[in-house]
Amino acid sequence: MNYTKYFIPKERVLDFSKCKYLGEIHQVIQQELELPEWYGQNLDALWDSITGIMYVPADITIIFKPETEQSQELTSEISKIIDVFKEAAQEYNEITLHVEM
């Protein structure tokens, strides 16, 4: 029996370019990472989710190329979210992170 397929990282793309509100960002995260409905939509819940709930191994790409002025205003929040993913990737070898900005 070949178990190799179980160790191939699942590719996930989090594209926040069209998001206008913080809630939309967390909806993208929740949907793309297949998180439960009770996901808390904040940085602490994000950390808990990617280090304990999300399926791993995972190859995550975060894209943020703001398409509107409202999207541009989310830059600081996106940076915080990226920092959480970076920290998780450093602590857990099962997460690979790519960022396109």
pTM: 0.86
Residue type for 95, please? I
State residue 93's pLDDT score: 85
- Cα–Cα distances (Å) from 83 to 30, 38, 67, in that order, read 17, 22, 22
State residue 8's pLDDT score: 58
State residue 92's pLDDT score: 85
Tally of domains within the chain: 1
Give the residue numbers spanning the domain of 8: 4-100
**Binned average pLDDT, 10 residues per bin, the chain of 101 residues:** 54 95 96 92 94 88 93 95 96 91 93
CATH number, domain at 43?
3.30.370.10
In angstroms, the CA 12 to CA 58 distance is: 7
State residue 4's pLDDT score: 46
Return the structure tokens found at 95.
Answer: 């997460």
Residue type for 63, please? I
Q: Which residue has the tokens 């009770």?
A: 38
